[in-house]
Amino acid sequence: MNMKILLNLLPENKQRDVQRRLHFRFFLWQLFLVFTLEIFYLVILVGIYFIFDFQLRGLEKSAAQANAEYSEQRILNKYQEKFKETNALVDTINKINRSHFSFTQIFLLLDAIVPESIAIERLTTKEYTVMLVGQAATREDFLVFDARLKESECVKNVTMPLSNLFSQDNIEFQVDFEIFKECLQKNHL
Q: Kindly report the CA angle at 70 between 67 and 75, in degrees rounded to 5? A: 125
- Burial (CB count within 10 angstroms: exposed 0-12, middle 13-18, buried 19+), residue 187: exposed
Report which DSSP code applies to 187: T
- Assign 33 to helix, strand or coil: helix
The model scores a pTM over 0.85? no
Instruction: In whole angstroms, give the CA distance from residue 75 to residue 79.
Output: 6
Instruction: In whole angstroms, give the CA distance from residue 37 to residue 42.
Output: 8
- Name the helix (H) or strand (E) containing 38: helix 12-99
Q: How much is the pLDDT for 189? A: 47
**pLDDT over 50 (residue 17):** yes
- Out of 18-22, 82-86, 101-105, 183-187, pick the least confident: 183-187
Average pLDDT, the chain: 84
Instruction: Tell me what the mean pLDDT of segment 41-60 comes to.
Output: 95
The residues that bridge with 156 in the sheet, in sequence order, are: 178
